[in-house]
């Protein structure tokens, strides 16, 4: 690996014909429940309003997205993890976000991120030992109450920008240091958590303060406001947001209330505010603001995420600040939870060291003199630049990097849900036709920014707008020799209503309306490669990366561009399958025959069949997921065995009942039983996938390969003169003899080998096959009396064991097995010696006996019913054995009359 300066990308195949690779990030577009999708429903002519996507608040599925659906149907489509440990967060219960998502996309690796770093620093105690804590908190002025410590940040447990537990830890740490007075400046969330949850967090904070406060320790809430209206702007989108924050936190200017709880309740009564939109709030005590910031005070901004912390940090630390008039600029000791911009060294003091992200894709490509392009609107411009480049401002080499920012609208995004998708597409297509780059990335902010508004209808439009732009770029890709990688950075628009964690059903408020959800989701995100046909070689998705995440995308981009993937990157999602050049007659014939397989089916039908198969696999996966069915989650290969056998029997029974002219009812039943067999195939495959053994695609690939290999007369030019079924059987045997397993030279070549291949048969049939093989090699009874004698002998041995005073259950089991195997010998002997008994099937015989018993019992119940005494359980228990025998005889006579 080496260090950054010494590492160079190695190009193993040159770029040809101005070939380009463009990554499109559909921000906030998670992929979940694809079966309830309006676009696929419309293609199947099932109407335009599928109830599920609208009723569950899935704006992605409710939007009309023909271009996205076209991509989803591609062979190079899969989903990726975009939350939790896949992007460096503490656990898989943590939602992903745009910051960590773009870090992973651009760096090709997983780095411990904000919350995880802070948690570790707090648990180890290193945060309180660090230089920043000592300089900002461990001060005599704070201990003698001549100065105040101010803590400002987002009050929630969303774990995207901050966590309330971090605030509690800082308060306790400061108290332990001897700090006497703390003032809190709380920004209300309603975005990474529910839109109307502020009161829950305020009450939790106030209860905490009641326990911590004492005559010698004074910690109170001084100011507040909603995060999107106060303090937390980003990318210099709207400095007035930061100005309002400065005025309320520093100067104590804003609407006055006696407590934060009172403020939120009154403001909601006056106007239907969501938490994130609440105006500036100042808490007064004795007619004065509780916590203005003065010279000599200490101030910690405890958000760990950088994008919305940079501007307020600048306003509180820059001497020559010009974004807005500050009125007064107190000299304070300032620290951030983390350093929010490493290049600008902002802030100079920080409590936790941010992840050191080096050797990002942009950096390596710039050193390799590869032209790159990045574009988005203001709201996400920093994500395709700063975060993509490893939390680094500026460019690595301006000669090879072209960045274009489209200014965002300065109004609520739900009022313009299309945002700047058209303008971003315009600029991108222009650069594609100009061949100005080789590797590019763009971001459509709509799904995330409009999704955060909680406006379902607007979010549906926002996703449709992205799809429209996507279609334009797809068309341009075909004309400009461009490969597209379409992905998302996390979910949001796919879950706009609160869902119960256990039932996954929508939660309703007291008015009967769905509770809105404005935070990100835990959904996987789509990933697809489009227009790969322009490559000189075939590629396919790897099937050994079921848990792949966003960090795998960088290596995929580099491999598509012809570079050797760095060994320190997460592995590529693709593998090369060889040249596309076809120069063999066999290959041409295979292609022709594969086309003939669907010659009477149009694309829509083939897509429909593929879609159903994918949906069924998704259904089985959900049954086995942590939140799935308790029964299905516990199943193993061993526990499923009896169900597989049962379904096989029921399918055979359904076949036997068909007859020459089966009724629609019998055909439907047969269809249902075949479905049950398919269920077992998928369920076993999902168990295998969960155990990281194989997946359903391997099952299909193996059987497809076997069928093609076993039928050279269909799929290849062959010298075999195949005219009838017997010719095919002879050919099969010849092919099977040549298909020796790799370890065949170590196998013990037993004389029973042929019979052992039948192990998968039902037990009685397997026993018959063993008997058949034993007879063929001479190890069996040769006459009927000998065979009968063996059966009687085994029965007597069983009787002896059962009548023994000291019963040995293991011996009884053994003897029962011997009786059954002796019957297998009898059945096989009859089959071998009687031509009219060649069809004998021991398993079906036993089954038939069971059916006979059932039918005989039905007849007995009829007899009792005719006598006016229905045969229920209570009546049955009163019948003597002689009466039962009499009923049995009567039923038997009816059967043969």
Quote the longest CA-to-CA distance of the chain. Answer: 115
CATH top-level class for 619-694? mainly alpha
**241-268 core/surface letters (b: 16 or more CB in 10 A; e: else):** bbbbbbbbbbbbbbeebebbbebbeebb
CA angle 556, 562, 563 (to 5 degrees): 75
What are the pLDDT digits (tens) for 831-846? Answer: 878 877 777 777 777 7
Give the global pTM. 0.55
Bridge partners (DSSP) listed for residue 283: 257
β-pair type (149-155, 298-301)? parallel
Task: Note the pLDDT of residue 598.
Answer: 41
CA angle 877, 878, 881 (to 5 degrees): 85
Burial class (CB in 10 A: 0-12, 13-18, 19+), 690: middle
| Structure tokens that stand for 101 in this block | 């998502």
CATH top-level class for 752-839? mainly alpha
Sequence ranges of the chain with CATH classification 3.40.1450.10: 114-352
Give the whole-angstrom CA distance, residue 274 versus residue 201: 14
Quick one: which of 14, 26, 24 has its CA closest to 450? Answer: 26
Task: Note the pLDDT of residue 55.
Answer: 82
Are 34 and 618 spatial neighbours (Cβ–Cβ below 8 Å)? yes
Sequence ranges of the chain with CATH classification 1.10.287.1080: 619-694, 752-839
Task: Note the pLDDT of residue 715.
Answer: 67
Quick one: which of 686, 536, 524 has its CA closest to 617? Answer: 686
Q: CATH number of the domain at 20-34+53-105+357-588, please?
A: 3.40.720.10
What are the pLDDT digits (tens) for 267-320? Answer: 999 998 999 999 999 999 999 999 999 999 999 999 998 889 989 999 999 999
Burial class (CB in 10 A: 0-12, 13-18, 19+), 877: exposed
Give the whole-angstrom CA distance, residue 76 versus residue 573: 10
Are 890 and 863 spatial neighbours (Cβ–Cβ below 8 Å)? yes
| Structure tokens that stand for 645 in this block | 């056998």
Give the whole-angstrom CA distance, residue 338 versus residue 355: 10
CA angle 363, 365, 370 (to 5 degrees): 135
The number of residues in the chain equals 897
What are the pLDDT digits (tens) for 485-518? Answer: 999 999 999 999 988 877 888 888 888 888 888 8
Low-confidence spans in the chain with pLDDT less than 50:
1-4, 47-48, 581-601, 741-748, 896-897
What is the CATH superfamily name and number for domain 114-352?
BPG-independent phosphoglycerate mutase, domain B (3.40.1450.10)
Sequence ranges of the chain with CATH classification 3.40.720.10: 20-34+53-105+357-588
| Structure tokens that stand for 793 in this block | 């002998």
Give the whole-angstrom CA distance, residue 897 versus residue 890: 11
What are the pLDDT digits (tens) for 569-609? Answer: 999 999 987 655 444 444 444 444 444 444 444 555 566 66
Task: Note the pLDDT of residue 601.
Answer: 45
**453-470 core/surface letters (b: 16 or more CB in 10 A; e: else):** bbbbebbbbbbbbbbbbb
**Which residue in 40, 53, 98, 572 is the catalytic one?**
98
Active-site annotation holds for 685: no
């Amino acid at each position: 690996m080496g260090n950054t300066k010494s590492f160079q990308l190695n190009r193993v195949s040159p770029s040809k014909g101005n070939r380009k690779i463009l990554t499109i990030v559909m921000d906030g577009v998670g992929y979940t429940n694809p079966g309830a999708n309006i676009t696929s429903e419309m293609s199947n002519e099932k109407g335009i309003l599928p109830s599920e996507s609208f009723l569950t608040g899935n704006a992605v599925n409710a939007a009309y997205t023909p271009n996205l659906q076209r991509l989803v149907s591609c062979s190079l489509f899969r989903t990726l993890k975009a939350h939790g440990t896949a992007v460096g967060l503490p656990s898989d219960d943590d939602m992903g976000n745009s910051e960590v998502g773009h870090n992973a996309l651009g760096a090709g690796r997983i780095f411990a991120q904000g919350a995880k770093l802070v948690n570790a620093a707090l648990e180890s105690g290193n945060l309180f030992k660090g230089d920043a804590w000592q300089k900002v908190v461990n001060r005599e002025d704070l201990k003698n109450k001549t100065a105040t410590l101010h803590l400002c940040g987002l009050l929630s447990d969303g774990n995207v920008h901050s966590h309330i537990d971090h605030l509690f830890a800082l308060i306790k740490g400061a108290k332990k240091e001897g700090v006497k007075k703390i003032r809190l400046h709380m920004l209300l969330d309603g975005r990474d958590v529910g839109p109307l949850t502020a009161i829950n967090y305020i009450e939790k904070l106030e209860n905490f303060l009641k326990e911590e406060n004492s005559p010698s320790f004074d910690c109170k809430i001084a100011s507040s406001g909603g995060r999107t209206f106060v303090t937390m702007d980003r990318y210099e989108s709207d400095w007035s947001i930061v100005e309002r924050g400065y005025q309320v936190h520093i100067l104590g200017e804003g609407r006055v209330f006696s407590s934060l709880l009172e403020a939120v309740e009154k403001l909601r009564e006056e106007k239907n505010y969501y938490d994130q939109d609440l105006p500036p709030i100042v808490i007064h005590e004795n007619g004065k603001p509780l916590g203005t910031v003065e010279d000599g005070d200490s101030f910690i901004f405890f958000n760990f995420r950088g994008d919305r912390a940079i501007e307020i940090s600048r306003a509180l630390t820059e001497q020559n600040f010009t974004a807005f008039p500050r009125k007064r600029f107190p000299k304070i000791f300032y620290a951030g939870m983390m350093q929010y911009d490493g290049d600008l060294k902002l802030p100079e003091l920080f409590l936790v060291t941010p992840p050191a992200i080096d050797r990002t894709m942009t950096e390596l490509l710039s050193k390799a003199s590869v032209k790159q392009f990045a574009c988005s609107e203001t709201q996400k411009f920093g994500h395709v630049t700063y975060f993509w480049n490893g939390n680094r401002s500026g460019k690595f080499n301006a000669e090879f990097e072209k960045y274009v920012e489209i200014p965002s609208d300065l109004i609520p995004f739900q009022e313009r849900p299309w945002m700047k998708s058209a303008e971003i597409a315009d600029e991108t297509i222009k650069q594609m036709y100009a061949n100005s780059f080789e590797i590019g990335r763009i971001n459509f902010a709509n799904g995330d920014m409009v999704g955060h508004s909680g406006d379902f209808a607007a979010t549906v439009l926002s996703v449709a707008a992205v799809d429209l732009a996507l279609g334009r770029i797809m068309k341009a890709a075909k004309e400009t020799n461009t490969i597209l990688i379409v992905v998302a950075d996390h979910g949001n628009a796919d879950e706009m209503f609160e869902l119960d964690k256990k039932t996954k059903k929508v939660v309703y408020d007291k008015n009967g309306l769905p509770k809105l959800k404005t935070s990100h989701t835990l959904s996987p995100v789509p990933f697809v490669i489009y227009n790969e046909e322009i490559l000189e070689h075939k590629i396919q998705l790897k099937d050994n990366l079921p848990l792949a995440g966003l960090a795998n995308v960088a290596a995929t981009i580099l491999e598509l561009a012809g570079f050797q993937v760095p060994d320190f990157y997460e592995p590529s999602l693709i593998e090369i399958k060889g040249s596309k050049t076809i120069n063999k007659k066999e290959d041409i014939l295979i292609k022709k025959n594969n086309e003939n397989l669907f010659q009477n089916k149009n694309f829509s039908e083939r897509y429909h069949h593929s879609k159903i198969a994918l949906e069924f696999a998704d259904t089985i996966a959900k049954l086995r997921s942590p939140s799935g069915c308790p029964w299905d989650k516990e199943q193993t290969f061993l526990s499923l065995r009896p169900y597989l056998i049962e379904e096989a029997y029921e399918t055979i029974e359904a076949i036997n009942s068909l007859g020459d002219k089966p009724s629609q009812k019998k055909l439907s039943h047969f269809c249902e039983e075949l479905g049950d067999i398919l269920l077992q195939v998928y369920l076993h495959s999902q168990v295998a996938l969960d155990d990281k053994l194989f997946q359903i695609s391997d099952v299909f690939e193996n059987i497809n390969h076997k069928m093609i290999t076993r039928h050279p007369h269909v799929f290849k030019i062959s010298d075999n003169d195949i005219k009838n079924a017997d010719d095919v059987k002879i050919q099969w045997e010849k092919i099977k003899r040549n298909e020796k397993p790799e370890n065949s030279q170590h196998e013990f070549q037993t004389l029973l080998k042929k019979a052992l291949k039948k192990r998968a048969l039902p037990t009685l049939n397997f026993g018959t096959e063993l008997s058949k093989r034993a007879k063929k090699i001479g190890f069996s009874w040769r006459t009927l009396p000998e065979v009968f004698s063996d059966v009687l002998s085994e029965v007597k041995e069983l009787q002896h064991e059962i009548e023994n005073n000291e019963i040995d259950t293991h011996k009884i089991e053994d003897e029962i097995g011997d009786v059954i195997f002796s019957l297998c010998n009898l059945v096989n002997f009859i089959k071998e010696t009687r031509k009219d008994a060649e069809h004998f099937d021991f398993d079906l015989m036993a089954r038939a006996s069971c059916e006979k018993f059932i039918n005989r019992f039905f007849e007995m119940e009829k007899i009792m019913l005719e006598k006016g005494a229905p045969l229920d359980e209570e009546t049955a228990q009163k019948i003597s054995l002689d009466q039962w025998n009499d009923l049995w005889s009567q039923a038997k006579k009816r059967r043969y009359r």
